[in-house]
Every structure is written in C-alpha cells, then in structure tokens.
Homo-oligomer: A and B are copies of this chain.
Amino acid sequence: MERHFEKGLEQVKERLVWMGSLAERAVHQAVQAVLDSNAEIAQRVLDEENAINEMQIEIDEQVMKMLALQQLTAGDLRFMLGVARINSDLERIGDQAVNIAQSAQRVLRHPRVKPYVDLPRMSEIAEEMVRDSLNAVVHKDVELARRVLDRDDIVDSLRDQVFRELLTYMMENSAVVYPAFELILVAKNLERIADHATNIAEDVIYIVAGRDVRHPALDRR
C-alpha cells in the first residue's frame, strides 16, 4: 500500500507542476497580448484553456483514488486535501489568464494608453509567485512558500500604483477612459492570480507544518 501511495504522490506532483507551467504560460502570453496588442497570442490563450481544465479533472480523480487507499497518515490526508485545493487555485489562475486575453482583444479596438505603467513588472512577479508556489508544493519547501507570501504585498502595492496612474490619465483625458479601464481590469486579474499563488503557498505551510497560517490574527493555537 505504502509504495502504491508514494507512486501516486509522485504522479500527482508531476501533474500539478505541469498544470502550473501551463497556467503560468497562459498568464505570460495573455499579458504579452495586452502589451503588444497582439490578437493572435490572445486567441492562443483562449484555445489552450482546455488543456488546463482537463488536467484539473485528471488530478481530482487521482486524489479521489488515493484517498480511497486505507490507513493514510494524517500527513498524507493533509497533503491530499491541500492538493485538491491547489488544483482549484491553478484552474482559476487559468481562468484569469483567459480574462486577460479577452481584455487584450478589447484593448485592440482603442488607441494605445502609453506607457503601460507597471503592468509588466506586476505580471512578472505574479508569474514567479505561481512558479515558486508550485515548487514549494513539490519540495515541501516552507521557506520558499513564505517568500511567495512576502511578494503578495509587492503585487498589491504595484496594483495601487497602476490604479493611480490610470485614474490620473482618465481624469486628464476622457478619451482614454475605456482603454485605461481595460488595463485596470488586467491589474485586477493579476492581483487575483497573485492571491491564488498566495493560497497555494499557505496550503504548502499547512501541509508541511500541519499549521494553519491563513489567518495570522487567529494565531492562538
């Protein structure tokens, strides 16, 4: 039984990493489509979404099979519950990439709002967070997970900066209200992607330390 579980575990980790790399790639391409006003890349993101969704179903089925094995340890159960949640977060990162790609398609119809403020930097950090959170899962690396959590504040402050700049443009020139609004939506999507990576990192700490770090204010246990 134990070897059966270990083998399943390796498979699940491998699938999660693969799914994570698809999601990260989707985010990267979607933001690229916005920055370069590239309709072709935007379409590619939409076309590739199904691969992420299929992987989610596959991983969930694998989790179900593994939970049905007898005499799992508390650590094993925690890991499997964590995987079920991480799987949802990854799929939702893919959804956000789709939203960004759709924004790219709409942005194309408007005059360019330049410069593209801090969106590229925000995207870069969010992508790194996704990648690192998955690596933290695979290597059960709590330190790496904590470094993901630290970056959530950076993304939030970049988002605030992006908002401020875009709102200033809007006030100065009402002709850019629509395209600037699309970029606000993109910043919101990137914020949400960073939130999902944060959730994944919190799950890693929960899995490894058996401790819940999701609500520091409740740290009385």
Query: Which A residues are within 8 Å of any B CB, using their own CB?
Result: 50, 53-54, 56-57, 60, 63-64, 67-68, 70-72, 74, 77-78, 80-81, 84-85, 88, 91, 163, 167, 170-172, 174, 177-178, 181, 184, 188, 192, 199, 212, 214-215, 217-218
6 A-B residue pairs with Cβ-Cβ distance under 8 Å, sorted by A, are A50-B217, A64-B74, A67-B72, A68-B72, A81-B84, A192-B192
Which residues of B are found within 8 Å of A177, using beta-carbon distances? 167, 170-171
Task: Flag if A53 contacts B88 (CB, 8 Å).
Answer: no
Task: Flag if B68 contacts A74 (CB, 8 Å).
Answer: yes
Known: A81-B81, A81-B84, A84-B85. 15 other contacts (CB 8 A): A53-B215, A56-B215, A57-B214, A57-B215, A60-B212, A64-B74, A70-B70, A70-B71, A84-B84, A85-B88, A88-B88, A167-B178, A170-B170, A170-B177, A184-B184
Which residues of B are found within 8 Å of A70, using beta-carbon distances? 70-71
Partner of A50, one of B63, B192, B215: B215
User: What is the total number of copies of this protein in its complex?
Assistant: 2
Which residues of B are found within 8 Å of A68, using beta-carbon distances? 72, 74, 77
Most buried by B among A71, A80, A177: A177
| Closest chain B CB from A19 CB (angstroms) | 14
A61 to B221, CA, bound (A): 13
Which residues of B are found within 8 Å of A80, using beta-carbon distances? 67
Which residues of B are found within 8 Å of A217, using beta-carbon distances? 50, 53
A181 to B174, CA, bound (A): 14
Partner of A170, one of B64, B81, B174: B174
Task: Flag if B163 contacts A57 (CB, 8 Å).
Answer: no
Task: Flag if A218 contacts B57 (CB, 8 Å).
Answer: yes
| Closest chain B CB from A192 CB (angstroms) | 8
A174 to B170, CA, bound (A): 7
